[in-house]
Amino acid sequence: MNPLSIYIHIPFCIHKCGYCDFNSYALDNLLDQGHAGENWAESYSEAVIRELKGRTRSLGLAERPVQTLFFGGGTPSLFPAAETARILAFIQENFDIDPDAEISLEANPGASDTARLSALREAGVNRLSIGVQSFDDDCLRRLERIHTGDDAREAFRSARRAGFSNISIDLMFGTPFQTLNQATADIEAGIELGPEHLSAYELTIEPGTNFGALHSRGELHGLPDEDTALAMWETRDRLLSAAGFERYEISNFARPAFRCRHNLNYWNRGEYLGAGAGAHSLISGRRFWNLARPDHYAEKADDPTAGEEDVSGAEKALGESLMLGLRLREGVSLGDIARECGGEPEEIFGGIFSALADQGLIERENKTVRLSRRGTLLANQVLAKFL
């Protein structure tokens, strides 16, 4: 049977940042509004386990091998380590977990002390992704982050003390009033820490966020112009390449053997089960997603489905495979996705391929299609063509 990835969504955080469009909630607000109680963590982990039990039965997942597990958020490191361990123990007891499974957890510097991270490592988490975003305190304040650059460095050192030998850090560039020198300094500071993996992505203004509202009113000032943003992209790639990192996806860089296997499963349109408030799943050609608000989710955790979509048709499956796979540096094998999706990509998307190639946005080599350098810089516009 094809391997499965499992994603666990922990939607709680200390503060919802202005740019964030993830399904996340400031914990104090939930408590003040009565949407979470004193035993919020225990109640939430019980709901996740109830959902996993129900999904396992209804979808027949007990025998499926699981190669990756990811706790995302929100701020999963804010969640008590004992409750994370409880969820992880249930998964290990009830799923066929690969002995070499990649088990990742997202952490924020403000909730990443050595004792907390040591407990997570002891529970079985073996990969940590730290949401640094910037080492510059002014940039962090403009992003509404609640940690400092020194906090971020200490979080990384705490992770090493806790025994993590596979650490990723997230950085963001193109943020309000950020200069090229500041963006460069962030990359250099990240390299200096010595992580195994580094994600460095350009700020995207998403609808439904505070930044999105400000931008729509013309009140989000200081965004870099196109030339400065391009220089940030080029500097990022140059510095990380020189430091021994391989860019294997638009915004992701890894040392040899440290690509994120969980994310690779997404980009290769593998199957995954998402549990938790607002989590999405793709199983047997069916995409479904959960109720978003944590209390609503917990009330119906035996089957918290909020919506679903049939994505088994050839055109839909091929479009998704191209949209996801073109994010990867090596691109997409048209022969492979034709076999997997039951359709011929040239017949459905041949005109789009030709137009994008004429614009210098994709490159074609035999039966492989990949983004060009220019296409990588304009990836959002290119990938949208296949939806």
**CATH code of the domain in which 98 resides:** 3.20.20.70
Domain count, the chain: 2
What is the model's pLDDT at position 62?
A: 85
343 & 234 share domain = no
pTM: 0.96
The amino acid present at 240, given as its one-letter code, is: L
As given in the structure block, the two tokens for residue 368 are 């492989």
Query: Does the pLDDT value for residue 1 go beyond 80?
Result: no
What is the model's pLDDT at position 362?
A: 97
363 & 234 share domain = no
Residue at which a domain ends, from 233, 249, 267: 267
Lowest-pLDDT range, 33-47, 142-156, 358-372? 33-47
pLDDT in tens, 253-308: 999 999 999 999 999 999 999 999 999 999 999 999 999 999 999 999 999 999 99
What is the model's pLDDT at position 222?
A: 96
Name the pairing type of β-strands 305-310 and 96-107: unpaired
87 & 191 share domain = yes
The answer to the question of residue 338 being in a domain is yes
pLDDT in tens, 85-131: 999 999 999 999 999 999 999 999 988 899 999 999 999 999 999 99
The answer to the question of residue 221 being in a domain is yes
117 & 255 share domain = yes
Residue at which a domain ends, from 237, 267, 297: 267
34 & 119 share domain = yes
The answer to the question of residue 217 being in a domain is yes
The answer to the question of residue 88 being in a domain is yes
337 & 226 share domain = no
180 & 317 share domain = no
94 exposure class (CB count in 10 Å sphere: 0-12, 13-18, 19+): middle
The answer to the question of residue 301 being in a domain is no
The SS3 assignment for 257 reads: coil
227 & 168 share domain = yes
Residue at which a domain ends, from 208, 243, 267: 267
248 & 317 share domain = no
The answer to the question of residue 184 being in a domain is yes
The answer to the question of residue 297 being in a domain is no
Q: How confident is the model at residue 75 (pLDDT cuts 50, 70, 90)?
A: very high
Sheet with 127-133, edge to edge strand ranges: 246-249, 252-254, 197-202, 167-173, 127-133, 96-107, 65-73, 4-10, 272-275, 280-283, 286-290, 305-310
Q: Which domain holds residue 14?
A: 4-267
DSSP, residue by residue, 285-324: TEEEEE-SSHHHHHHTTTS-EEEEEE--SHHHHHHHHHHH
Q: Could you list the beta-strand ranges (E) of the chain.
A: 4-10, 12-13, 25-26, 65-73, 96-107, 127-133, 167-173, 197-202, 246-249, 252-254, 272-275, 280-283, 286-290, 305-310, 332-333, 362-365, 368-371
336 & 246 share domain = no
What is the model's pLDDT at position 158?
A: 97
Query: Residue 38 and residue 93: Cα distance in Å, rounded?
Result: 28
71 & 126 share domain = yes
CATH classification of the domain holding 379:
1.10.10.920
What is the model's pLDDT at position 2?
A: 84
Query: Residue 258 and residue 246: Cα distance in Å, rounded?
Result: 10
The answer to the question of residue 58 being in a domain is yes
- How far does CA 314 lie from the centroid of its chain? 26
240 & 383 share domain = no
